[in-house]
Structure 1
């Protein structure tokens, strides 16, 4: 039986960016307090969390301090150090969800792909590469282009480099600057994602979203996706298989390719709330952030049902060089029925940095095409040049 007292339970979060901020926002109505650990003073989550520990993500002493003040630890960034989390959890008895073992698997994309393929999860053809000759050999075997990926450290599309021809292999490998892998390029019909939740003894999944990327950065998510019912069911089945491999409770962002012949292939996994699930704040009965809080605490999960068709659109900084963050011309968003603004509180705008997002939910007989057009209009109306 779940019982609440005051003060309620505390979730310690390694990472205090926009995901930590939205976790804290979702935790508060549940009577749950959040403390974040982040190296940036006054990080985005600091405004809404109970407290912030200013420390690096791999600072074991700071993580130990965080554990002493929390009932459970989690993370909102893959830069969290799995070894430190594992040791702290073992020494203090404070559980970590998802488990550090899952974080270890996710950290290396090659390890991730091998483990998932071994479990029967469908993935594109892939291989480890050590030098440019290996990349060229992959092009021979898979055909061009191929996708070169940094095995570690990549996020928001960084570390992913399409290689169109053998002549580009050496330069592409230099740009990755570290251990790499290569995948066959998938001629997809659409990119989709499933935000799935692993609870104490239950799993759940939100309706699948259709994602649009440019320059390897997510720009917009449309829910429901334009996929057939059969593809949507297959995507949920693949997500359930992924959760079988992952250890520990929490939300998992599972990015997939829908091929032109209706197959579903795994792209990547994030063991945390995901950008493609931001639509759930307004578009679902319980957001991905509320679900993550519930899950890591071992509480019953909420409903993942769709409230209304929804589109989310990222607000990326339209600046040419770093500058103080300022978002202007907001009236159009604020005056539009069904539109919701989320500003992340980052102090510095950098080129193509995610500074916020806007969601638009359907009213009356609006289609997802109507919502997408409205979201794009709203995004075009704002500017980061005050």
Structure 2
């Protein structure tokens, strides 16, 4: 029986385990939280840091394939594990590249991948030199996550909000739509892409909800898919890759960021597509045939976030109201405590058409709340 090791025991790992179990694949998980969402489901749960070198090296010794559910891991440990002959997917050098937005953006430029104009900065003191570059967005090179480490620079007055760390300053895009494509490649070189989804962001820069299909022309989606294929091939990538795109007002498609793992923008695939992103990741890293990514129907995903003003043991309002709506599926992450904007779960929705889908999204957002 195959054994997969997963660095990270959060909700993405939890859903990955559910897919692996269907194929009689054992999953061993490493996470510093003794109550991580994966703990109750993993065949073997190890409490420990995914950033501590020796902990990661020791963890990876007895697995067939080592993978991740978040990119904030000790990449050097993975590089050394791979040198010892243990299979690591995604490859450690890809994880290392994606961990640094500066290196990531430079890769796009060097390899002809469309992206927004940018400059690399070592600290916010250098912003004075680029007043003519505004409006722009400053992103810290390492450590930013879920909107953290991002600062909009509209005028010189915003410079004091910058980061005293190596960062990238990206020219602001006149955005029409934000879309995402989940792509996968196995070691044999087979590539698949899921249909594009349209992302609607919360005011705090977290995903609020997403819609599939995206409201974009077919030629825009085709260009995004071509870029996704090109990116995977130029990287020689193995595993699942989430690619976030901007579509500007002129219809140009450019890459914003990528994530080397299953992703929030792929959750609707669980009910909305023939193959889920979690099934596809397992297939890709084990070099199995990649699954059919086509849509079963129109679908959506609503993020379940902790309500503002509530911190403590989680309570869920509106469960019965939501379950009474046909085509609505609740996915909670077994997190005992809530706090404002903590990801507590997600709700997937299927419908016959876009109008019905949006009506259900509105009902879910109105009735379902996480309080304490």
Q: What interval of TM-score do these two structures reach, taking the shorter chain for normalisation?
A: over 0.9
Contact 2:220 2:251 in 1 (8 A): yes
Paired with 2:15 and 2:76, the residues of 1 have a C-alpha distance of 26
Please give the secondary structure, in 2, of the residue aligned with 1:356: strand
Q: TM-score, normalised by structure 1?
A: 0.92
1:385 corresponds in structure 2 to 371
Which residue, out of 275, 281, 292, partners 2:264?
275
Match of 2:350 in 1: 361
Asked whether the 8 Å contact 2:20–2:279 carries over to 1, the reply is yes
- Given that residues 56 and 74 in structure 2 are in contact (C-alpha distance below 8 angstroms), is that contact kept between their aligned partners in structure 1? no
- What is the deviation of 1:68? 2.7
1:4-58 superposed Cα distances (whole Å, 9 cap, x missing partner): xxxx211100001010001001111112121110000021011222121101012
Give the aligned partner of residue 66 of structure 2.
73
What whole-Å deviation, never above 9, does each CA across 1:44-84 have from its counterpart, x for those lacking one? 01122212110101233332333233110000111111100
Gaps of 5+ in 1: 1-7
**Aligned CA distance change for structure 1 residues 233 and 53 (closer, same or farther; 3 Å):** same
Separation in 1, partners of 2:228, 2:183: 7
Q: Does 315-324 or 213-222 show the bigger shift?
A: 315-324
Further displaced range: 286-295 or 25-34: 25-34
> Secondary structure of the equivalent of 1:306?
coil
Distance 1:305 1:126, change over 3 A: same
2:279 is aligned with 1:287: no
Question: Which residue of the other structure, out of 126, 132, 149, is the alignment partner of 1:159?
Answer: 149
Q: Per the alignment, do residues 124 and 304 of structure 1 end up closer, same or farther by CA in structure 2, a change over 3 Å counting?
A: same
CA separation of 1:308 and 1:139: change in aligned 2, threshold 3 A: farther
Q: Which residue of 1 aligns with 2:359?
A: 373
Structure 2 match to 1:13: 6
Deviating 4+ runs (over 4 angstroms): none
Structure 1 residue 61 and structure 2 residue 54: aligned?
yes
Contact 1:279/1:310, CA 8 A, preserved across alignment:
yes
Deviation by residue 1:291-349 (Cα, 9 ceiling, x = unmatched)? 00111111111111111110101011003253222223201121211000010112221
Work out the CA distance in 1 between the residues paired with 2:200 and 2:254: 17
- Correspondences of 1:17-28 after superposition (within 5 Å): 17-28=10-21
Aligned to 1:208: 196
Alignment-derived partner of residue 3 in structure 1:
none
Q: Give the direction of change, closer, same or farther, for the CA distance of 1:325–1:196 in structure 2 (3 Å limit).
A: same
Structure-2-length-normalised TM-score = 0.96
State the partner residue of 1:339. Answer: 328
What secondary structure does 2:371 align onto? coil
Does the C-alpha gap of structure 1 residues 191 and 157 become closer, same or farther in structure 2, counting only changes over 3 Å? same
Q: Secondary structure at the match of 1:210?
A: strand
The one of 279, 284, 309 equivalent to 1:320 is: 309
Matched residues in 2 for 1:102 and 1:371: separation?
A: 36
Q: How does 1:188-199 map to 2 (within 5 A)?
A: 188-199=175-186
The answer to whether the aligner puts 1:349 opposite 2:338 as a matched pair is yes
Partners of 2:4 and 2:63 within 8 A in 1: yes
Q: Secondary structure at the match of 1:251?
A: strand
* Contact kept in structure 2, 1:99 and 1:247, CA below 8 Å: no
Mapped partners of 1:133, 1:90: distance in 2: 40
Distance in 2 separating the partners of 1:132 and 1:72: 41
Q: Unpaired runs of 5+ in structure 2?
A: none
Aligned length: 370
Segment drifting more, 10-19 vs 321-330: 321-330
Q: CA deviation at 1:383?
A: 2.2
CA distance in 2, matches of 1:210, 1:37: 32
SS class of match (1:24): helix
* Contact kept in structure 2, 1:196 and 1:252, CA below 8 Å: yes
Deviations 1:168-197 (A, max 9, x none): 112x11xx3522111011111100011000
Q: CA RMSD in A?
A: 1.5
Offset of residue 124 of structure 1: 0.2
Preserved CA contact (<8 Å) 2:304 2:369:
no
User: Residue deviations 1:177-229, cap 9 Å, x none?
Assistant: 52211101111110001100011220000000000112211111100101101
| Contact 1:16–1:76 (CA under 8 A) maintained in structure 2 | yes
- Which position in structure 2 is the counterpart of 1:183? 170
2:31 aligned to which of 14, 34, 38: 38
Secondary structure of 1:384 counterpart: strand
